[in-house]
Structure 1
Amino acid sequence: MPDLTSASAPVFRIRVAVPVYLYDCFDYMLSEQDYQKAQPGARVLVSFGRQNLTGIVTEKIAPDAPLSSEFKLKYITELLDDEPLLDTQTLNLLTWSAQYYQFPIGEVMHTALPALLRQGKPYNLLARMWKLLDEHADARLKRSERQQEAYKILKLHPSGTAENILNLAGVETATLKALEKKGICECVLEAQNFSPQAVSLAQMPLTANEDQKKAVQGILKAQKKYQAFLLDGLTGSGKTEVYLQVMQEVLKQGKQVLVLVPEIGLTPQTISRFQSRFHCDIAMLHSGLNDSRRLQAWQAAQTGKASIILGTRSAIFTPLPRLGLIVLDEEHDLSFKQQEGFRYHARDVALYRAHLQNCPVILGSATPSIDSYALVDQGKMTVLELNQRAGSAQMPKIHILDLKIAQKEHGISKILLAEMKKRLDKKEQVLVFLNRRGYAPVLICESCAWQARCPHCDANFTVHYQPYSHLHCHHCGTIHRLPDHCPACQHTELKSIGMGTAKVEESLNSLFPDHEVIRVDRDSTSRVGSWQKIYDKIHKSEPVILLGTQMLAKGHHFPYVTLVAVLDIDAGLLSVDFRAPERTAQLIVQVSGRAGRGEHKGDVYLQTLRPDHPLLLTLVNENYRAFAQQTLTERKNALLPPYRYTALIRCESSSQQQNQDFLQEHAGLLRQRSDLNADIWGPIPAPMERKAGRWQAHMVLLSQDRARLHYHMRSWWQNMLHQKPSTMKLTLDIDPQELS
């Protein structure tokens, strides 16, 4: 052990980012042998307080550097990796993200690692391989279509194939285990081969139209340098084909491509497009994977074996040694913003990562965010427009139905019902959109007007009848038994008011008994593989009614849908959030874009009590781009984002007065800084003042000088955290997308 009192004795130290809610890295000592092996980006096991934690080495300190800590340093418990798991580029990205979003560096570093590596498990885990044992088992599998399909695929790989490859081909692990029980196949563990494979075309590109050609050529000119592109294309205009043709050239050069999509539900169709176009390893990274499969996919990406990496939000932090292109599909989508813990925005992190990597980045959408349009106006992004639908498809026509005067049945206009019947009779598909799951949003007593409200939130219970009758709060998760009488007056006549997807499903089943209604919402797609089954059923060209929430609006290609019905859009038109009109316009355009993508022209019907609303009139009479320009002008005049930078402080405790007093005190301290140059709004009660039994308050900071705002906030925010009562929860949201 070195003598720390001797000035001449070398002290071998490293700086470690530890996953705790503290903003500093911590110095640890280690042996000279481990010091020689340790590299930034590798994991170490360290003692922190009473815990043993897995940390990331961020820096090797020169042995002759003076000791900077007044505390006695601890030795690391174990050096877990001889090679760094996070390369220099990824470490720089994570460090920038921690500084920009003002979140503890150790917590941010852990965001980039799969769960098994965060837990300190060894990096060189073995891959699960499946091998066929019985090549004549056809007769034993007559009763199971899934097992038959899995068996056929296994027969194509007599020497065995990796489980993640089989999963990509649609074979579920549960099916493989069922075959294993029958003695038809076995699972063996083999070391993974991380050698990159050559990429070849499995299918020739489609013939691009003029807009697509210009977009592809414009992006390819920026190869091997940073440039941000906004691919602004109408729904169905072939944005994915532009991605594929650009990817083809990048992959030819031996580079990797990172593609981000907003939801897991979009991965089946995207992976299908990629597999049918390219022969190469594809890694999928999303929360639907179990820990071992996620680690395997992460390793394939991190070692460079996988050429295409397809993932949701957190995949932006995956180490990629050969990164040559980043694609963000549906860039406007709110799912790219993390709403808990480390509140980063994958779109903004992607722009910075492309800048670090010196590679192009494509943000694609039919309804780009107002923030992205502002970057175009500022010359920080190049816009590429696709103004015609691919092939012979035409844009759908939008019709507005005034609910104040419309004749209705089960809450649906009779005009709309007649149109739905016409389409189904022609063997076409209908999509019905309602962004409200459950059976009904309100349960009310017809005698005394009592309403079933959540005891912990400022919100009504939602009525559910599946899988059993109950009341469910969608904000805090509280579940109560459905009452058989009013608790206030004992009256037995309780009525469900309003419509949720489950109630509309019931109504549509009674109105169209000869046609299947496929419901797509969080309740119906919660089981593993359920979304894939629904997706396969939709693509069988049978006349069905698709019913769902915004899961159905996000970039899906439904070629047989010719009619889209939006049952209720008024909530988005009446919100107090200044971003609500943008979200509502995007939702209307996106869900409308599911109609008429095939051979037949589509129509869209919007039910509303506000048929004269300016937003609707702009979308119907002009288009989304006209709405966006109008919104940009309004935001500029009001000095709202993106023309001012914002930070939102959320405060939560058992007392609203405590929230208000604490925020008011610290707002006063910030206002004392003469060169702050920022407005402070609040503190005020949150839009939902009470949630999960706790009181919520907000404070918003706005400034046109982002660097100065962040500089002043850094010490002020950390001081707030140190002074807050232990029962209070504080969160900081840089560039918030929602004020709830």
Structure 2
Amino acid sequence: MLVSTSLPVPLYKTFDYKVPTGIQLPKIGCRVQVPFGRQTLVGLVIAYTNVEDCQIPDNKLKTITTIIDKTPIVDEKWLKLASWLSNYYHYPLGDVIGVMLPTLIREGKPIHVASPHWRILPEILSSQTKNNTAPPQISARAYKQIEHYKSLCVFGENGIDETQLNKHNLTKAYLQKLADKQIAERFLQTPAEPKQAKIIESPLSLNDEQSLAVTTIVKAQNKTSYQGFLLNGVTGSGKTEVYLQAMQPVLKNNQQVLILVPEIGLTPQTQARFANRFEANILLLHSGLNNRERLAGWQHCRDGQAQIIIGTRSTLLYPFKNLGLIIVDEAHDASYKQQDTLRYHAADVALYRGLQQNIPVILGTATPSLEHIKLVQDGKLTELALSKRAGAAKPPEFYLVNACNKNTTYIQQANGQAVDSGLTNEVVNAMRKHLQAGEQVLVFINRRGYAPILLCHACGWQADCPRCDNHLTVHQSQLNTQQPSYLKCHHCDWQSYIPTSCPTCGSHNLDAIGMGTTRLTENLHALFANPQTTKQTYPIIQIDRDTTRQKGSWQKIYQTINTGEPAILVGTQMIAKGHHFPNVTLVVMPTADRGFLSADFRSPERTAQLIMQVAGRAGRGEKTGKVLIQTLQPDNPLLLELVKNGYQPFAQTLLNERQMLGLPPFAFAGVIRCEAKNHQQTIAVLNEAKSLLPAHHQLTVLGPVDAAMKKKNNRYQSQLLLLSKNRQQLHTVLNTWWLTVKNLPTAKYVRLTLDIDPVVW
């Protein structure tokens, strides 16, 4: 027998190897080290092949170098998932498995690694806990060390897993100081079997809609069969409580629960909600982990140590010992779609994995995507509607504010010049009223930095990225002089200093045009936080990638907000998803409706989702919320439909338009993107690919055309769009045509990628 191995190479095939004489055949699912050309690679055994069936001559067959694992590291269902991903997304199986496995596993490192723990030395623990005092080695003024010592004592001789330090506000630096004083130690420990998960906080009482949703989900669990649910609940309707109560029987049966969230920022908050309800092993998985932490998480999922797993989209690809329920929170979010390598959509893969495991899958959202609404209408998803906010909370009231110049509030600068604050008089007055009432105000602007454009008023020059078809964003702060000032491209990360004069005409009349979070924060500071201009000052909290870059910064901001003290929160879509701020009673959106004017056919849907998600942060407590949308088009029919009738009728209007136009979800799409250093080359390759399509393919073919961003990072991008009313018909063509395109001689000098079910084109 030969061993068929998948290798991390961009080839649509597996590779057969001989087994060394006298060595037992490696089991399917084990890793092996094999020669490949001039290098040695780590591959995964996926099948066996008879020598007679192999088309390669015996003298050219190579032999496995090392069998790394004695027992399989993944099971048959996991391999079938990998095969399905490869077939559906037309991506090489070896590269699919490479995406699914953590880095250290791909490198051949041992799987069963004891995890590092920290504990107080047993002899110190036994002697000091009697009188409840810190050891004499710790100075009385070393408050942090004393705090860490007392926190570590709580965990006893078993200690705390190193991956859980942040959760308990423990840092390695102070623990190492305790270790240097021979008070604590870092040791390796194999995790014990987890205890039965317990409820430590009484469940909340449910309204009729919530109760029906929980009952329906639990019935599907009892049948041990797949069923997909769309939990369609308005913001603040208590979707999380439905999750929590649906999880109870799963955890009671010693099964695992997987909860997907769209952003890393949501994971600590989500963890706190579940930790308050259940005494269970809760695992956080996201891109902020290092390789060792990721390997430990992968191992805990596989071995059943993790009972509740909270993670971003890649967590869905992990192996699980006994998965009982999958929850996809904010299922409409575009970040669930992977935009490079294996371009999968986590919500779609979750439904497939639920079918594979015979378990329920819950897609929770307040603003379902049109694709999910269509699945409900087709009977492929069961809708569970939550139309009312939980408890006494009421839905927010929407108001459109005409943002024409005559209504604008101006700020007087030190030089006597008046500048536009970006907010109308009506909005500023409403903000002041809510702040004076002791409430919080959220101002949403989905653009970070100071300003999106730097313009010369003398000749019209603009600061553009030399590597992309994109303007450079101005980053500067007049409030924080320590913060560097620079121009940056948010697509390729190219940076430059801010010129003092125009590079084209030499004029000093340069102006930052437009507004980002930093500029809006400064304008609000002048209106609400400057003691020279206002009697009562309020803190302005900026929330975007720039202010949450440091580890733990988002947690600190979140704690500040949850004090409930009156404040103004200024942020991007980071604050639009899933956060619960009980004292936010006013939401202001100065530019939220501009997405209705985009050329992207999905833009109205995304804009409406964003508006409703941001609006949902208002009035989640006992006080009624209010939403002010500044707009230059108060008579925009789409905006009026959304504000007056809500998201569901708005979405149905868009769905009817899509059906008339033959666009997704009434058609199935694949986009072939070509990237090269020469623009003409990308068009030529795509035209050649187009000419190879079967004569009677019955597909709608658009292009080749330039991508939305023609030039990015010094490479040109063009695309070819394939549309079909039948999914199977599209994949039948792609099964043969795509491999032919990849093997074109001209394709060797460009980068060709295929995106199935694209969210952007």
TM-score range with shorter-chain normalisation? over 0.9
Aligned to 1:44, what secondary structure does the other structure show?
strand
Tell me, yes or no, if the aligned pair for 1:282 and 1:307 is still in contact at 8 Å.
yes
Residue in structure 2 matched with residue 5 of structure 1 by the alignment: none
State the distance in 2 between where 1:732 and 1:725 align.
13
Name whichever of 133-142 and 154-163 sits farther off: 133-142
Aligned to 1:341, what secondary structure does the other structure show?
coil
Deviation at residue 65 of structure 1 after TM alignment: 4.7
In angstroms, what is the RMSD of aligned CA positions?
A: 1.8
Tell me, yes or no, if the aligned pair for 2:396 and 2:619 is still in contact at 8 Å.
yes
Deviation at residue 181 of structure 1 after TM alignment: 4.8
Judged with a 3 Å threshold, the aligned counterparts in structure 2 of structure 1 residues 66 and 730 are, in CA distance, closer, same or farther, namely closer
Aligned to 1:229, what secondary structure does the other structure show?
strand
State the distance in 2 between where 1:429 and 1:78 align.
62
Residue in structure 2 matched with residue 69 of structure 1 by the alignment: 56
Deviation at residue 387 of structure 1 after TM alignment: 1.0
Q: Which amino acid aligns with 2:300?
A: A
Residue in structure 2 matched with residue 290 of structure 1 by the alignment: 290
Which of 418, 421, 438 is equivalent to 2:449? Answer: 438
Which of 429, 450, 466 is equivalent to 1:418? Answer: 429
Deviation at residue 146 of structure 1 after TM alignment: 6.0
Deviation at residue 397 of structure 1 after TM alignment: 0.7
Judged with a 3 Å threshold, the aligned counterparts in structure 2 of structure 1 residues 69 and 141 are, in CA distance, closer, same or farther, namely farther
Aligned to 1:192, what secondary structure does the other structure show?
coil
State the distance in 1 between where 2:613 and 2:146 align.
38
Tell me, yes or no, if the aligned pair for 2:134 and 2:146 is still in contact at 8 Å.
no
Query: Residues 100-122 of structure 1: CA distance to partner in whole angstroms, max 9, x if unpaired?
Result: 00111111112222221112111
Judged with a 3 Å threshold, the aligned counterparts in structure 2 of structure 1 residues 33 and 144 are, in CA distance, closer, same or farther, namely farther
Aligned residue runs from structure 1 range 193-232, under 5 A? 193=192, 195-223=193-221, 224-232=224-232
Residue in structure 1 matched with residue 700 of structure 2 by the alignment: 679
Q: Which amino acid aligns with 1:699?
A: L
Tell me, yes or no, if the aligned pair for 2:191 and 2:305 is still in contact at 8 Å.
no
1:28 lines up with 2:48 in the alignment: no
Q: Which amino acid aligns with 1:519?
A: Q
Query: Residues 260-312 of structure 1: CA distance to partner in whole angstroms, max 9, x if unpaired?
Result: 11111111111011111111111221111111122112111110121111110
Tell me, yes or no, if the aligned pair for 2:454 and 2:472 is still in contact at 8 Å.
yes
Aligned residue runs from structure 1 range 303-382, under 5 A? 303-382=303-382
Name whichever of 526-535 and 484-493 sits farther off: 526-535
Residue in structure 1 matched with residue 533 of structure 2 by the alignment: none
Name whichever of 627-636 and 712-721 sits farther off: 712-721
Q: Which amino acid aligns with 2:243?
A: Y
Tell me, yes or no, if the aligned pair for 1:21 and 1:107 is still in contact at 8 Å.
yes
Which of 86, 99, 108 is equivalent to 1:111? Answer: 99
1:697 lines up with 2:718 in the alignment: yes
State the distance in 2 between where 1:182 and 1:473 align.
48
1:429 lines up with 2:440 in the alignment: yes
Please, what TM-score do these two structures have when normalized by structure 2? 0.92
State the distance in 2 between where 1:256 and 1:208 align.
24
State the distance in 2 between where 1:171 and 1:560 align.
30
Q: Which amino acid aligns with 1:85?
A: I
Residue in structure 2 matched with residue 468 of structure 1 by the alignment: 484
Tell me, yes or no, if the aligned pair for 1:283 and 1:298 is still in contact at 8 Å.
no
Aligned residue runs from structure 1 range 228-627, under 5 A? 228-404=228-404, 405-409=406-410, 410-465=421-476, 467-513=483-529, 514-627=537-650
Judged with a 3 Å threshold, the aligned counterparts in structure 2 of structure 1 residues 208 and 478 are, in CA distance, closer, same or farther, namely same
Aligned residue runs from structure 1 range 27-106, under 5 A? 27-31=16-20, 34-36=23-25, 38-62=26-50, 65-70=52-57, 72-106=60-94
Aligned to 1:726, what secondary structure does the other structure show?
helix
Deviation at residue 702 of structure 1 after TM alignment: 0.3
- Which structure 2 residue ranges, 5 or more long, are not aligned? 411-420, 478-482, 530-536
Query: Residues 211-266 of structure 1: CA distance to partner in whole angstroms, max 9, x if unpaired?
Result: 10000011111111000000000100000000010100111112111111111111
1:152 lines up with 2:150 in the alignment: yes
State the distance in 1 between where 2:177 and 2:547 align.
25
Tell me, yes or no, if the aligned pair for 1:197 and 1:305 is still in contact at 8 Å.
no
Aligned to 1:302, what secondary structure does the other structure show?
helix
Tell me, yes or no, if the aligned pair for 2:685 and 2:747 is still in contact at 8 Å.
no
Q: Which amino acid aligns with 2:55?
A: S
State the distance in 1 between where 2:276 and 2:551 align.
24
Judged with a 3 Å threshold, the aligned counterparts in structure 2 of structure 1 residues 188 and 445 are, in CA distance, closer, same or farther, namely same
Which of 724, 732, 736 is equivalent to 2:758? Answer: 736
Deviation at residue 380 of structure 1 after TM alignment: 0.3
Q: Which amino acid aligns with 1:164?
A: T
Aligned to 2:692, what secondary structure does the other structure show?
helix
Tell me, yes or no, if the aligned pair for 1:233 and 1:366 is still in contact at 8 Å.
yes
Query: Residues 541-575 of structure 1: CA distance to partner in whole angstroms, max 9, x if unpaired?
Result: 11121111111101111111111111212431111
Name whichever of 80-89 and 579-588 sits farther off: 80-89
Tell me, yes or no, if the aligned pair for 1:39 and 1:60 is still in contact at 8 Å.
no
State the distance in 2 between where 1:447 and 1:67 align.
72
State the distance in 2 between where 1:246 and 1:414 align.
47
State the distance in 2 between where 1:684 and 1:221 align.
50
State the distance in 1 between where 2:606 and 2:469 align.
23
Aligned to 1:673, what secondary structure does the other structure show?
coil
Which of 646, 671, 682 is equivalent to 2:669? Answer: 646
Tell me, yes or no, if the aligned pair for 1:137 and 1:184 is still in contact at 8 Å.
no
Query: Residues 340-361 of structure 1: CA distance to partner in whole angstroms, max 9, x if unpaired?
Result: 1110001100000000101110
Residue in structure 2 matched with residue 706 of structure 1 by the alignment: 727
Aligned to 2:249, what secondary structure does the other structure show?
helix
Tell me, yes or no, if the aligned pair for 1:376 and 1:382 is still in contact at 8 Å.
yes
State the distance in 1 between where 2:140 and 2:239 align.
42
Q: Which amino acid aligns with 2:39?
A: Q
Q: Which amino acid aligns with 1:169?
A: H
Tell me, yes or no, if the aligned pair for 2:4 and 2:14 is still in contact at 8 Å.
yes
Tell me, yes or no, if the aligned pair for 1:167 and 1:173 is still in contact at 8 Å.
no
Judged with a 3 Å threshold, the aligned counterparts in structure 2 of structure 1 residues 196 and 39 are, in CA distance, closer, same or farther, namely farther
State the distance in 1 between where 2:596 and 2:518 align.
24
Residue in structure 2 matched with residue 6 of structure 1 by the alignment: none
State the distance in 2 between where 1:549 and 1:578 align.
22
State the distance in 1 between where 2:435 and 2:146 align.
33
State the distance in 2 between where 1:623 and 1:138 align.
62
Deviation at residue 523 of structure 1 after TM alignment: 1.1
Tell me, yes or no, if the aligned pair for 1:34 and 1:79 is still in contact at 8 Å.
no
State the distance in 2 between where 1:138 and 1:508 align.
50
Judged with a 3 Å threshold, the aligned counterparts in structure 2 of structure 1 residues 462 and 598 are, in CA distance, closer, same or farther, namely same
Aligned to 1:222, what secondary structure does the other structure show?
helix
Aligned to 1:424, what secondary structure does the other structure show?
helix
Name whichever of 139-148 and 207-216 sits farther off: 139-148
Aligned to 1:411, what secondary structure does the other structure show?
strand
Judged with a 3 Å threshold, the aligned counterparts in structure 2 of structure 1 residues 164 and 258 are, in CA distance, closer, same or farther, namely same
Judged with a 3 Å threshold, the aligned counterparts in structure 2 of structure 1 residues 90 and 732 are, in CA distance, closer, same or farther, namely same
Deviation at residue 414 of structure 1 after TM alignment: 1.7
Name whichever of 508-517 and 67-76 sits farther off: 67-76
Residue in structure 1 matched with residue 480 of structure 2 by the alignment: none
State the distance in 2 between where 1:204 and 1:570 align.
42
Judged with a 3 Å threshold, the aligned counterparts in structure 2 of structure 1 residues 469 and 145 are, in CA distance, closer, same or farther, namely farther
Deviation at residue 29 of structure 1 after TM alignment: 1.3
State the distance in 2 between where 1:646 and 1:498 align.
35
Q: Which amino acid aligns with 1:158?
A: G
Deviation at residue 145 of structure 1 after TM alignment: 7.0
1:726 lines up with 2:757 in the alignment: no
Paired residues, what number? Answer: 723
Tell me, yes or no, if the aligned pair for 2:593 and 2:607 is still in contact at 8 Å.
no
Name whichever of 402-411 and 248-257 sits farther off: 402-411
